[in-house]
Structure 1
Amino acid sequence: MKILVINGPNLDRLGMREKNIYGSLKLNEINEIIQNYFKNKNTFIDFIQSNDEGKIISEIGNSEEKYNGIVINPGAYSHYSIGILDAIRGINIPVVEVHLSNIHSREEYRKKTITGEGCLGVISGFGHYSYIMAINALIDFYSKS
C-alpha cells in the first residue's frame, strides 16, 4: 500500500502558530510519527506540503499512477476550493480528508468542507492521530475490496 499525504496552506507553520488549536508538534514531527506508526505494516507514505493551490491540484492529478490513496489536509482550501474538489473527483483512487482541530466546534465558515464532498470520508479533531485514522481507513477500504 502506497499513500500520499498532502498538507495544504500554513501547515508548514505548525508548532509555531495557534498552538492552543493545532498543538505544538511541527509538521515534520507529525510526519515522523506517522511514518513510525506504519513502518512495519507494509504501508509506504510520501508527504508533501504546499501553500499553493495549483501545486496541490497537480499533485492530486499526478497521484493516480503512483499511489493507492491520498490523505489530504487542505487547510483553509477545504472551505472554498472547487479546484481541489474537482481534482479529487477526477481521480480513481480514494481520498480521505483530515483536520487537526474539530472544525465543527470552530467558526461557522470552518464547518463546511467543500473538498470533503469528493472524499471517502472526513476525519477531524484528533490532532496528528487524524492522519493515522485516515490511513487506517484507506487500508480498511482496500481490505474490503
Structure 2
Amino acid sequence: MQADHCFHVLVVHGPNLGLLGRREPGVYGGFDLDWINGRLIDYAKNRNAILRIFQSNSEGQIIDHIIANMDWLDGLLINAGGFTHTSVALRDTLAALGKPAIEVHISNIYARESFRHKSLIAPVCVGQISGLGWRSYLYGLMALLDLLAERKQAQPPC
C-alpha cells in the first residue's frame, strides 16, 4: 500500500543495540545497526516517509528524545532492548504519546529467559514484532506506515 502523504516516523534503538554485529551474533545476527538503519531508510523513501533514528543506552535520553519529537512524529518504531522489561517510565511516555507505536525485537523474547517474556511497553503499543532478526524492524515499519495510511492522517506533502 503506497502512502499518499509524507509520514514522519521516529525509530528508537535502546541499550546495547549499538553493539549489533558484535553482540551475541547467534542471537542477534551479524548485521550492525548502521546496516539495519540503511534498510529502513531505503524502505521509507519508497513509502514517502521520513525517518529520524536515535539510539541510546540511557533510559532518560530515550524518554527525552521521544518527548522532544512528539509534535513531529506520526508514529514510533521502538526496540527498547532491556528497558522493554523494566521501564515503567518509558511505558508512561509511550502512553502519553497519543500516536501509534510498534515494538520490535530482533530475537524472540518469548523463547528466551523468562524475565524477557514480560513487556511493560506492549500494552501501550499497537503491535509487537519479534524473532524475525533485522526484518522485525522492516516489518514493523511496513505495518506502521500501512496503519498511518489507513488512518489517513493529514500531513503536508514531503
Q: Which moved more, 1:52-61 or 1:36-45?
A: 36-45
Mapped contact 2:39–2:138 kept (Cα < 8 A): no
Structure 1 alignment gaps of length 5 or more: none
Q: CA deviation at 1:144?
A: 2.4
Match of 1:65 among 68, 71, 74: 71
Task: Identify the residue that residue 27 of structure 2 maps to in structure 1.
Answer: 21
Following the alignment from structure 2 to structure 1, what is the Cα–Cα distance between the partners of residues 148 and 49?
A: 12
Task: Specify the code of the residue in structure 2 equivalent to 1:106.
Answer: R
Following the alignment from structure 2 to structure 1, what is the Cα–Cα distance between the partners of residues 146 and 37?
A: 21
Secondary structure of the 2:97 match is coil
| Structure 1 residues 1-145: aligned runs within 5 Å | 1-145=7-151
Secondary structure of the 2:54 match is strand
Which structure has more RCO (C-alpha within 8 Å, separation ≥ 6)?
2
Secondary structure of the 1:144 match is helix
Q: CA deviation at 1:116?
A: 1.4
Task: Specify the code of the residue in structure 2 equivalent to 1:52.
Answer: S
Mapped contact 2:67–2:93 kept (Cα < 8 A): yes
Following the alignment from structure 2 to structure 1, what is the Cα–Cα distance between the partners of residues 132 and 92?
A: 27
Mapped contact 2:40–2:141 kept (Cα < 8 A): no
CA RMSD of aligned residues (A): 1.0
Q: CA deviation at 1:71?
A: 0.3
Bigger Rg, which one: 2
Following the alignment from structure 1 to structure 2, what is the Cα–Cα distance between the partners of residues 134 and 128?
A: 10
- What is the aligned length? 145
Q: TM-score, normalising length from structure 2?
A: 0.88
Q: CA deviation at 1:73?
A: 0.3
Following the alignment from structure 2 to structure 1, what is the Cα–Cα distance between the partners of residues 137 and 123?
A: 18
Structure 2 alignment gaps of length 5 or more: 1-6, 152-158
Task: Specify the code of the residue in structure 1 equivalent to 2:89.
Answer: G
Task: Specify the code of the residue in structure 2 equivalent to 1:137.
Answer: A
Percent identity of equivalent pairs: 39
